[in-house]
Structure 1
Amino acid sequence: MSHSLQHEPAQGVTPTLRLRPDTGKPNVRLRKQSDGAYRRHPDEIKEDCLSQPSEQIKLDISVADYRVVSKRDSEDTVQRMRESMKDIPRSKRAAEVKCEIIQIIVMPQLVDMRYLQTATDDVIERAVEAHFVYSSIYLIPGLSLAASMCAAFHRDWSWNARGVYYRHYYSPHWITGDHTLWIPTIDHDMFDHPQERPRRERAQRLLRHALDNKRWTKSEYAWEADAWSDVFGQIRDDPALAADKRECYMNMAEVYPVSATLTGKSEMAKRIPDASIGLATFHPQHYQNAIASYELDSERLQALTLHRKTSLISDPRLGESDLVYPFLVYEAKGWSGDPRDARLQACAAGATYLDMLDALARHPGPSGKVEGAYQFAGSRSAQVFALTSFGSHWHIMVGYRRPRLKREHAGHPGMSKTVYLYQRVWSGLISDERKAWELLSLIDQIHEWGVTTFRDYVIRHLRSWHKFGRMVWKGDAERMRAVLGKDAATSGQFIIFSLPSWADGFGTDFKAELRQKSGRLMLKRLIDEQAGEPSITCVQGSCRARGYKCFSPEDFVRHCSSVHDNHSGESGRSVVKEVFDQAASDMKETLQELRANCYEIGPEADTSCAEQAWTMVHDNTCIESPTRYN
């Protein structure tokens, strides 16, 4: 016989809900730990981790020497503990000596699908996620740790020093107040909706290929090829976007072999992500197309990249302008690969793309000067998406750029000033149709965001850069005519230009190629622009924005009278004529001086002489045409 412990309330009696009184104390104590990828909120971070470590690693120590020092320190610590417990009886040692486990750090093993083929999806996902994160704590600069730990986590910590951080759990609390991120979402109720039938058919095809690749343990190429067709197929078909396996040049900061902090040196590194997706560019013959944009003209963007005063990089393949401002990067690994490598490679490329967007978002100005202010209130809110796949296990991350904060050891020697923070938006194993549908749903949302919000963001910020670019290229064309004469475009001579600052780390052949591209752009402007003659440019009233060039004193007086209703008397005409004659005289003297120092500027001329001639023209304000007269 069983007895029930529940009592039925008497009829007519209403049960009363009794709550325990509020004690005013939280029932759950927040456990604080060192900052790392698994922290969900800034309040979980231990404050003492932000202070300067008492034991510092010598920066110039080698890995072998550090192993010896670490082993010796460990032995000394054990010896001191034994000495301190020598006088304590064994029966009392447990009560006298208190040990506390501060934190347990697990070093995940590489996922081997040979042993996980028959495992459940949950087991596979946990194993992949653990190795994807790998280092559960971030770099604490200068902290002396075991040699084995420094060796195991050196790669992850070196990217922390360069500013790249990964958060395994997305939270708006990690986003600073001056940023706004757009995040794709999944509406699970839509899975059975009739309008989702096309996407579910795509999901079934993606699942079929994923299971086939897993069954036959295919190489990384098979996974990558299926991603291009099954996941990114609609993006490739969009004429407003460009997708390619495109090389990416990044300025890679060097780190110390043990401490993983920055040495202060850097070198140019070339990486090739498996996919980069950005905006498509156009040529004049495309302007009849409704999606073509004058701001995304390929030649105009290349001109901004190659000029020394703008140096605005828009294409990760430096010097080109076919795939500009990528907003999505993808890295694929087969089951025999390393998911952590995919994350680090994707985040590194994404950091380069964020730097490109940050430069675009600022007011244009001479390259190499102090960074300009942001153009608009929302200019800081640039973001990119980093995607990785390890076999059929996918990750989607969103990343943005900001200054380093105190909790990230801002101001500490050997740490970058900028942080590229990535948060996981979604991850899953493509083992059923629903998971495949979720992935495609998120990708389609990112696709729509890229051709609308992101594209509008780029076009809006490019307008001021194109205006500045027209000004500096026009000035160079006029200076070239001042040196080479009116027929500079057909003279067969040229002036060697200074290259943009980003080209300093490249070799001679690459620089020569950049000069050829820059020369072709200059030749076109020499043909299009007016001949270089002494002139006066009106910048009054409606002429202030673009300027109106006048090639004689009479023309200038006539223009002021008809356009600005400014009728100059005899004294005004004489002042204009005096300014014009002085500009012509100064130009003539400077040309004579240039020809005396450099008889010919052309293919046979001495390079140093040509650069000297260019410097003289560039720095001599008396021949800067047009002469400003207000």
Structure 2
Amino acid sequence: MAQSWARFCPNLNIPQYREPLSEEKKKELDQRADKLYKRAIGNQLYKSSEFSWEVSAWHDAFGLIMDDQGLRMDKRPYEFVEKDGTGQNVMKRRIPDATLGLKTYDEFDLKHGYECTVPDCKEDHSSKQPDKRLSKNRLRAMMHNRECGLVVDGVWGKTDLVFPFALYEAKKRASSFEAAEEQIYHACKTYLAMLDDLARNPDNVAEYQTEDSSRYQLFAFTSCGSYWQVYVAWNLLDRCHVETIWEGDVKEFSRAFDLICIVDQIHDYAVNNHRPFVMRHLEAWHARHEKSLEPVRSALRLDAAISEDSMSEDMESSDSDSDDENSDSSGQSYDFGVIASLMEFHSKLPEWFHLKESSKMTRQEKARQTRERNRKLRQSQDPNNRSPGKQRGRGRPAKAEVTKNEAPKRKRGRPPKTSSKSTKITKNSCIIRSSTRRQVNAT
């Protein structure tokens, strides 16, 4: 079903995909597959942790994506809305092992652009050049505008990694396979909703921008030890569909080679299809944002015109004190922040902002109640029934007071000799003492 509906599906006939490649590219694929294959055997042999499997995937499978200047890969959380026990909408968060998306640019990147460091390079780097449609400042301003409110990052309010095209979840053992699939499905559902918002018409969100705008998709990877699976996800009839398109154990060289080829095809899709799709649909949202700012700009232009008129009047009537006072009052100008605040522009924040703040306050209140409940529980279980004022505070207990010895301390070195002389006992003295003792006993 994925091949018939999805905009792009990797060529799973690996020999057919490999045939038109250059010899240099074939050699590179062989080296990367061999590295992935040997690393998987080593991790299995030494019973490596889940972290080691993740590191292997990042470097051996997704290495080229990490090095791409137009893409970004990070272990990044995403936020979503879910009902709590009371039926209220609250914001929650999950963290996949890796999220692969588009890179955004600051003013420095937009000014200097991308420069290739390879001498005599003949590749086309147009897809790696910074684009103002992915400007951090423009995306942030549009996201905080209530007229738009388009969330571009998994973390609401951020613009660091926008509109992902792939996800990755790693587990150490095959017994955790179902948990990995559930996490992938939830993440795909959330990010597909983000792409759906992007594809909508900002002037009428009930319809898409073009007939082809609804055909967005997402890829996902899971690895349970050395066993990998590749998924493609899409929305159809308001429902998220996730389908497995490939699976295999990379401890076999042929399967490791297949995975490397599939990852490269998804990399090409991200550069040649996903990134242009995102930037093309961002144009309408940027236009909506600029249109909403037009009243503020009109006020600024009016203020500038009034300032110029007042300056000319001030020059003509410089000798009149009353005219000077009038010109000073009429020539007062306001900056963008003042006029925007007067028009209540900044007070009209999008719904996601209020939901995030209310969820944050709810979590803080629950944490406070938990601390209070635990404190009362400790007091009720205290056998000494001590009053709160006599309880010892947190941290390391105070040292016990030790009385110091008032006797003078002996100095270093050999101890001094005693002043009393030892008495030498001789044989004659022993005889005299014994005879004296016999006489006393006789009497």
TM-score bin (small chain) = 0.5 to 0.7
Bigger CA radius of gyration: 2
The Cα of 1:347 is off from its aligned counterpart by 1.6
Check conservation: 2:299, 2:339, Cα contact below 8 A: no
> How many angstroms apart in 2 are the aligned matches of 1:353 and 1:490?
34
1:240 alignment partner AA: G
Q: Which residue of 1 aligns with 2:99?
A: 276
For each residue in 1:467-504, what CA deviation from the matched residue of structure 2 results, as whole angstroms up to 9, or x when unmatched? 11112134356679999x73245879956513211123
Please say if 1:504 is aligned against 2:334: no
Normalized per residue, the structure richer in helix is 2
1:345 corresponds to which of 183, 199, 204: 183
Paired position in structure 1 for 2:239: 419
> Do residues 292 (structure 1) and 126 (structure 2) align?
no
Structure 1, residues 305-336: CA drift from partner, whole Å, max 9, x if none? 11111010111111111211001011111127
How far, CA to CA, are the matches of 2:200 and 2:336 in structure 1?
34
CA RMSD of aligned residues (A): 2.9
Which residue matches 1:66?
none
What corresponds to 2:224 in structure 1? 390
Partner of 1:222: 52
Q: How does 1:384-463 map to 2 (within 5 A)?
A: 384-403=218-237, 418-463=238-283
- Where does residue 26 of structure 2 map in the other structure? 196
Classify the secondary structure of the residue corresponding to 1:421: strand
8 A Cα contact 2:105 2:134, kept in partner? yes
Shift of 1:172: 5.2
Match of 1:60 in 2: none
- Letter of the 1:506 partner, please give it: K
Alpha-carbon shift at residue 254 of structure 1 (Å): 6.2
- Partners of 1:378 and 1:492 in 2: CA distance: 40
> How far 1:200 sits from its partner (Å)?
1.2
Alignment partner of 1:377 is 2:211? yes
> 1:163-182, aligned counterparts within 5 Å?
175=5, 180-182=6-8
Work out the CA distance in 1 between the residues paired with 2:298 and 2:77: 36
- Give the drift of 1:298: 1.4
Q: Which has the higher contact order (CA 8 A, sep 6+)?
A: 2
Structure 1 match to 2:163:
325
- Is 1:267–2:90 an aligned residue pair? yes
**Structure 1 Cα separation of the partners of residues 9 and 177 of structure 2:** 23
Instruction: Tell me if the contact between 2:91 and 2:359 (Cα under 8 Å) persists in the aligned partners.
Output: no
| Pair 1:509–1:338, CA change in 2 (3 A) | closer
After TM superposition, give the deviation of residue 268 of structure 1 in Å.
1.5
Equivalent residues in 2 for 1:467-546, closer than 5 Å: 467-476=287-296, 486-489=333-336, 494=341, 497-507=347-357
TM-score (norm 2): 0.64
CA distance in structure 2 between the aligned counterparts of 1:187 and 1:293, rounded to whole angstroms: 35
Kindly provide the CA deviation profile for residues 409-447 of structure 1, in whole angstroms up to 9, marking residues without a partner as x.
xxxxxxxxx310011110111121110010010000000
Confirm or deny that 1:243 pairs with 2:76: no
Letter in 1 for 2:11: T
Change (3 A) 1:202 1:383: same
| SS of residue matched to 2:180 | helix
CA contact (8 A) 1:364 1:372 kept: no
Alpha-carbon separation, structure 2, partners of 1:266 and 1:253: 5
Deviation at 1:349, TM superposition (A): 1.2
Indicate if the aligned counterparts of 1:200 and 1:433 stay in contact, CA closer than 8 A.
Answer: no
Is the 8 Å Cα contact of residues 481 and 488 (structure 1) preserved in structure 2?
Answer: no
Number of equivalenced pairs:
311
Shift of 1:283: 2.4
Rate the CA distance shift 1:480–1:329 in 2: closer, same or farther, 3 A.
farther
Judged with a 3 Å threshold, the aligned counterparts in structure 2 of structure 1 residues 439 and 336 are, in CA distance, closer, same or farther, namely closer
Q: CA deviation at 1:220?
A: 0.9
Identity %: 31
1:510–1:307 CA distance, 2 compared to 1 (3 A): farther
Q: 1:211 to 1:306 in 2, by over 3 A?
A: same
1:398–1:425 contact (8 Å) kept in structure 2: yes
- Distance in 2 of aligned mates of 1:171 and 1:321: 30
- Structure 2 gap ranges (5+): 114-125, 304-331, 362-443
Residue in structure 2 matched with residue 183 of structure 1 by the alignment: 9
TM-aligned CA deviation for residue 182 of structure 1: 1.1
- Give per-residue Cα distances to partners, 1:539-570, cap 9 Å, x unaligned: xxxxxxxxxxxxxxxxxxxxxxxxxxxxxxxx
Secondary structure of the residue aligned to 2:236 is: strand
2:3–2:9 Cα contact (<8 Å) kept: no
Residue 183 of structure 1 and its aligned partner are, at CA, apart by: 0.6
Partner of 1:536: none
> How far, CA to CA, are the matches of 1:215 and 1:460 in structure 2?
48
C-alpha displacement of 1:275: 0.7
Ranges in structure 1 where 5+ consecutive residues have no aligned partner: 1-169, 256-262, 404-417, 512-630
Partner of 1:252: 82
1:358/1:211 CA distance change after superposition, 3 Å: same
CA deviation after TM superposition for structure 1 residue 351, in Å = 1.2
State the 1:362 CA deviation.
Answer: 1.1
Q: Which residue of 1 aligns with 2:201?
A: 363
In 2: Cα distance, 1:230 partner to 1:466 partner: 38
For 1:436, give the aligned amino acid.
A
CA distance in 2, matches of 1:346, 1:480: 49
Deviations, residues 568-595 of structure 1 (Å, cap 9, x unaligned): xxxxxxxxxxxxxxxxxxxxxxxxxxxx
